[in-house]
Structure 1
C-alpha cells in the first residue's frame, strides 16, 4: 500500500508461515498484532489512490506471503496472476493493429470473455458468437444440484477482475455465473455479441484472406459473416455422453443427464440411481442424499477422493470484510491460492521409475497424496471393509482427475439408504436397472453423470487452405502449436487447445489468460510486418508436439493405463493436460517466435472487415 520497505524490515522477522487451510495466524504475540493493525489502519486512512506496485519490493514480499522461496522466473507471472498488474506487452507497440484485423470469438463463456477483454485492450474490433441467450457458457447451461469446481474460487476468476467477496471457498454455479454476468455488464460485452447464434462451420476464404463464419440462429436463419481472425473459445466438453445401455430408452421414470438438468426435477422421496463416480456425481450425491428415499451409486471405476480440510466451505465474514475494505488483501489471497495449487504441486505428476517399480504411487510426492486419500477411506469406511475396497482405485493419484469431497460424499455412501454398485448397470428396463449379477433395482429417477464427448471442435466444420479440414488433420489425436495454431489454418487460434489444460494445479483460467495475451502479441507481430495472415510452419508444429509428447512420457497419465480418463483420446495419446510447469507455459507464450510462422502481407479482395453476407 505504501511501497515503504521499512515496514517489511520491521515486521518480517516476527511473522511465521502456517499452511492454509485451515486458517492460522502467522503472528501470535499480541503486541505485534496490534502494531500491524495500527500500521494498516494508518496506511488505509492515508492512501488517496493505489500506488504502482514496485517489483523489487514485491519480490521481497513473496517469500513472506507465500511461505517459501520464490525463484526470479516466477516473479512476473505472480505479478500478473495476483492481479497486481495487467499482462505486460512483449512486442513494441509503435505500430497500431489495423482496423482491418477483425476478430470473431466463438463462445461467450469465461474463455470468450477473457479474449474479448484482451481484444478491447488492444483496440481490436471483435464480435462474439454464442448459441445461448446469455454469457457464461457451461456455468449458464449446467445447473445440477451442488455444481461447483475444485479450483478455489478466489483463484478461478480473471486476474484483472479479482472478486473480493466470494461466499464459498470453491466456485458454486449460481455465484460464479453471476460473476461472469457482472463482467459482461461492466465491459459492455453484450453489445459485441450475437446471442442465439451457433457457429456450424468456419471456412478459410483465400480470395478475401478472411474466415467465412457459417452460423444458424435460434430461429433457423442461416448467415455467413467474415472476420480476418478467428478465436475459438468453446470448450472441448460440450456434448453429453450417454452410456450405451440396453433398454435405456424404455425406462418409465425420469432420465436426466447431469449436463441437461431439469430445474423442476424434485428428488424428494424418490428412488434414485446415479451412474458415474466422477466430480459431477460426487457433487450431486453430496447435495441430494438427504432428499431421496433411496440412492444407488453405480461406479464404473472409483476415483481418488481428497478430504475437505475445513469444517465448512463458507468464507468467514472476516475474510469477506477484509476483501471488500483492505486494499490488496484479495490479491494476496488469490496469489496464495495459486501458489499453493500450481507448480508446487508439479512433482505429484512426475514418475520416479525406481519408486514406481515397487509402489502403486509413481513417486514419493505422489505417495503423500495416496496416503492421505487412503487414510480418508479407512477413516470413513473402516480399513479393509467391503465398501472401502469398492471405493479404492487401483492406479496412482492423478491417473485420472482427482476429486475433492465437497464435505458429505464419502459420508453419504455409508448411509443406510445408499448402496454402492462397483460396476456399470447391465441393462435398463421400464422399472429401473438390472445389475451385472442380475438383480432388479426399481427406480423413479436415473441420473446419468457420465460426462461428455471429447470434441476439440469436431462438431464444427473447419476448413483451412485448399478445403483441408481440421478433423482430417487431427484424426483421433488433436494437437497444436503455441496459441492453439495448426499449419494450413491461417489466423485461427484455438484457446481450448490440445495439451493446454493445467493437469496438476491452478485452473483453466490460467491457460485462457496466457493464450489471450499470446494471441494479441501475434496480432501485433502481424501489424509490425504488415501481414494479413499468420500461419505456423509444419516444422515448428511437429517439433512442438514432439516436445509435448516427450515431456508427457514422464507423467502419471502415460503410466496409469488402467485409469479410464478423458485426458486420453481414442488413439491413447494424452491430449488434454499440459506436461509442463505452468511457469514454463507462461514464459513460452510471452511473444511469438517469428521464424516459426509464415507471415503474408497480401490483401484480400474486400480489404477486411466483418459483414453479414
Structure 2
C-alpha cells in the first residue's frame, strides 16, 4: 500500500504533459494522444506551460500505473518511425509542423545519441589523420567541441588557462552561484538523464557535470591545463595557424594546427570597478569571480555593487553572515520568481525519471518550449495606439512583476518606489529572484540608490555626500562581453588583426556567431550574435544544446574540407553580411532597440547601439542554419602543400 501511494505521489509530481508523451511513446495508446491540454501561466506570466486538463488526469495516472504493473519490467525501448516522431512532436509542441520545422524540432527530445552532431558522409577518410585542431577553453563550449571531434576521430588539443575544467562554472564560486534555467535544460543532449540534485543546479554540481562529461567521452585527456593562448597567426602559404601558448611557469611554445576554435566564453573577462579613490581603499575589493572558500563576511560590513544575476544570487547568503550589508543599485531590475528555484529534485521526481521509459526525453522537450515569447518582446503598434505601453502580454507581465515586488517587500513605499523599473520587462536580461527582495527588508541590509562618487580609505561616498564605512566590497558588475577574443591577438589573412576588423564594423560580428571573413579555419564559439534571445518556440534546446549545434556546424565545415580534399574554409563576405543584415533588421523591430521600451544601457546592446550579444532570429531559423552546411557560404580551397612534420602531417609541434 505504501508503495502504491508513493507511485501515485511520484506520478502527480511529474510533468503531466511529458508523462503522457512518455507513455504514448512506450505504448502507442491512442487514448493518450487524445487527452486534452490546458495552459498554466508560469514565470509571472512570461510563459505558459502545457499540462493535462483536470478531467483527464485520473485516466493518465491509471494508464501509467497499469503500464508499471504490467509492461514496465519487460519493456524494451521502442524506436519510433519518422511519422510517429512527427506526430509526437506536434502533440508535444501543440501545433502542426512544416517539413522544415520538423527537421529542427525532432532534435529536441534527443532520441538519438548525438542528435545535432556532424558525421562523415561515408567511411572516415584517412586524410583526417593529417588534420589538427586547437581549442581554447575547457568550459561547456570547449568540452562540447572535444566530444564532437572524438566522434569524428579528428586529433585535437584543448588549452585551458585554469587548473580545472568548467570555464565560468570553475571561476564563479561565490555564495549561491547557480543556473537560472532548469537543470534539465542546462545539459547536453547526449548526456541522458543526468542525476541532478536540484531543479536549478548550483555551481559545484554544474562544474562537476562538465568534468564528468569530459572524462566520460575521452576529452579530459586532451586538455592541457594552466596553458594560456597568447596569440594566433594564419599562414596563407601553408593554410596553418601558428598558436603561441604560455604555461604556468611562463615558458612559451608555438604550435601549428589546421583549425583553431576559441571557446573562451562570453563571461571570461571581469569588468573592473573604476571609481575615484578605489586604489587607496584599505578594505578588500573583490570581483565576484575572485571569491573563494577562504573568503568570509562574518563580523564584517559588506558592500555589494550590482544587482544583476550575480548580485541577486549572492545577497541572501551574504546578509545571513555579515553584520551589515549595503546594496548599491544603479538601475532597478525586473527580478522574477521561477518555479522550483532553490528546490531539490525530490525522491518522487527522481523515481519518475528513472522508472518511466522515455520520460526524460519528453520532459526535456516540454521544458524547452513553455511558450513562444515573441509577443512579449515584439512591440504591438495597435496596443500602443490604444493606450498600452508595449504589448498586451508585456504589459501584463509588468503588472504581475510589479505586484510581486510589492508582495516581497511588504509593500514598503520607500522600497517599492526605488525598485520598480521604468523600462519594459524583457528589455534587459531577465534576473531570477533568490530572495533578493526579501533580503532588502532585513534589519542589517540597506538599499542605496544614490550614485557612488568616490572611495575614501575606509568608506564609499555617494552623490548625496553620505559616507558608508565598509570592510569588504563585492563587485557584481559583470564582464567585458564585447571582448570575445581579447586579449588573444588573432591575425588572419594579410596580417589583419581581428580587433581592427571588428572596430570598423560597429563592433564584433560573425557569421552565425561563428566565423569571420579573412580568418580562414577560425571559429568562435559563443561569438557575436550567437546567444538565442527569443527563448521558447521551435528550437534545439537550452544553452548547452545550442552549443552542441554550434560545434556540430563547425564540424560540418571541417568534414566538407577534409572529405573534399581541401585545406581551408573561409566564410564569404556575402554570407557574412547576409546573416548580420538579417540580425540587424530583425533586432530593430524588437524590444532591445525600441526607444519607447527604454532599456537604457545593458550588455545585450554594444556601445554602437547594436544588438551584439544575442541573435533575435527565431529558433527555427537558427536550428535550420546550424543543421545544414551550405557550401556557397564558404570558400573552400587547397594549398597544394602543407607545412608538415617529418611524418608528413600538420602537428602540435613546439617551435624553437
- Alignment TM class, shorter chain as reference: over 0.9
Secondary structure of the 1:135 match is: coil
Is the aligned partner of 1:546 residue 2:584? no
Does the 8 A contact of 2:120 with 2:152 survive in 1? no
Q: Cα offset for 1:566?
A: 1.1
Secondary structure of the 2:129 match is: coil
- 1:205 & 1:468 partners in 2: Cα distance? 12
- 2:60 & 2:210 partners in 1: Cα distance? 40
Q: What residue number does 1:449 align with?
A: 476
- 2:511 & 2:272 partners in 1: Cα distance? 32
- 2:396 & 2:471 partners in 1: Cα distance? 42
- 2:145 & 2:424 partners in 1: Cα distance? 36
Q: Cα offset for 1:547?
A: 1.4
Cα separation, partners in 2 of 1:313 and 1:66, compared to 1, 3 Å: farther
* Equivalences for residues 430-441 of structure 1 within 5 A: 430-441=457-468
Deviates more, 1:157-166 or 1:127-136: 157-166
Q: Cα offset for 1:357?
A: 6.1
Secondary structure of the 1:526 match is: helix
- 1:566 & 1:357 partners in 2: Cα distance? 30
Cα separation, partners in 2 of 1:467 and 1:31, compared to 1, 3 Å: closer
- 1:178 & 1:20 partners in 2: Cα distance? 33
* Equivalences for residues 463-612 of structure 1 within 5 A: 463-475=491-503, 477-482=507-512, 484-505=514-535, 507-559=542-594, 560=597, 562-602=599-639, 603-606=641-644, 607-612=649-654
Deviates more, 1:505-514 or 1:65-74: 65-74
Is the aligned partner of 1:392 residue 2:420? yes
Q: What residue number does 1:99 align with?
A: 129
Q: Cα offset for 1:273?
A: 1.1
Does the 8 A contact of 1:164 with 1:323 survive in 2? no
Secondary structure of the 1:605 match is: coil
Cα separation, partners in 2 of 1:53 and 1:231, compared to 1, 3 Å: farther
Cα separation, partners in 2 of 1:36 and 1:324, compared to 1, 3 Å: closer
Cα separation, partners in 2 of 1:456 and 1:111, compared to 1, 3 Å: same
Q: Cα offset for 1:312?
A: 5.3
Q: Cα offset for 1:511?
A: 2.9
Q: Cα offset for 1:353?
A: 3.4
The size of the alignment, in residue pairs, is 609
- 2:560 & 2:335 partners in 1: Cα distance? 46
Give ranges in structure 1 of 5+ residues lacking alignment.
none
Which one of 151, 157, 162 corresponds to residue 121 of structure 1?
Answer: 151
Which one of 344, 352, 355 corresponds to residue 383 of structure 2?
Answer: 355
- Root-mean-square deviation (CA), in Å? 2.5
Q: What residue number does 1:214 align with?
A: 244
Q: Cα offset for 1:17?
A: 4.4
Does the 8 A contact of 1:464 with 1:490 survive in 2? yes
Q: Cα offset for 1:6?
A: 6.2
Give per-residue Cα distances to partners, 1:444-472, cap 9 Å, x unaligned: 22111111112111211000012111010
Which one of 26, 42, 53 corresponds to residue 80 of structure 2?
Answer: 53
Does the 8 A contact of 2:199 with 2:340 survive in 1? no
Is the aligned partner of 1:239 residue 2:277? no
Which one of 322, 330, 340 corresponds to residue 360 of structure 2?
Answer: 330
TM-score, with structure 1 as normaliser:
0.93
Give per-residue Cα distances to partners, 1:93-134, cap 9 Å, x unaligned: 367362222111111100001111111112211111111112
Is the aligned partner of 1:223 residue 2:253? yes
- 2:132 & 2:513 partners in 1: Cα distance? 18
- 2:619 & 2:522 partners in 1: Cα distance? 23
Is the aligned partner of 1:8 residue 2:29? yes
Give per-residue Cα distances to partners, 1:549-604, cap 9 Å, x unaligned: 11111111111454221112222211101011112101012222212221112232
- 2:250 & 2:386 partners in 1: Cα distance? 60
- 2:72 & 2:243 partners in 1: Cα distance? 51
Cα separation, partners in 2 of 1:17 and 1:165, compared to 1, 3 Å: farther
Does the 8 A contact of 1:146 with 1:284 survive in 2? yes
Does the 8 A contact of 2:174 with 2:291 survive in 1? yes
- 2:600 & 2:384 partners in 1: Cα distance? 16
Deviates more, 1:417-426 or 1:194-203: 417-426
- 2:59 & 2:545 partners in 1: Cα distance? 40
- 1:186 & 1:225 partners in 2: Cα distance? 27
Q: What residue number does 2:344 align with?
A: 314
